[in-house]
Amino acid sequence: MILRPEVVIYQNRRGLAFSFALRERFIWGLSYAATRSALMSNARRLVFSVLALGLPIILLLRMGRTAWSRRVHFAKFICALPIIVALLISWSFGESVSYITHRLRS
């Protein structure tokens, strides 16, 4: 897939409850961090756990910059901000938890 401003992709997930989407993002964050941390030291996992909590800010800024540069859907992006922020927080919290709780290496 090519990242081009004129390409718009729609996902048809009608009936998806907000609570389910939050849980889904949390689990995806857990899974992502578990995979990434498999070969990390405990100290490195602790650092990544703290840094993961800053992900919502970084990702939101990137998304906002992309939406602004395309301008076509910027108003929709602004309207969706509360949901986007909640989903980003859920993902980052899952990622942070996973880095902390990943089985300690002996």
Q: Does residue 34 sit in helix, strand or coil?
A: helix
| Percent of residues, the chain, with pLDDT higher than 90 | 68
- Cβ(69)–Cβ(63) below 8 Å: no
Q: From 77, 55, 61, select the one nearest 8 (Cα to Cα).
A: 77
Give pLDDT tens digits for 55-86. 999 999 999 999 999 888 899 999 999 999 99
d(CA 23, CA 16): 11
Give pLDDT tens digits for 6-29. 777 788 888 889 999 999 999 999
Kindly give, in sequence order, each residue whose CB lies less than 8 Å from that of residue 8, ignoring residues fewer than 6 positions away: 72, 73
Residue type, 80: A
| Domain edges within the chain | 18-101
- Report the pLDDT value the prediction gives residue 2, as an integer from 0 to 100: 66
Q: From 2, 23, 14, 3, select the one nearest 93 (Cα to Cα).
A: 23
- Report the pLDDT value the prediction gives residue 68, as an integer from 0 to 100: 92
In the block, which residue shows the tokens 């002996």?
106
Look up the pTM and report it: 0.81
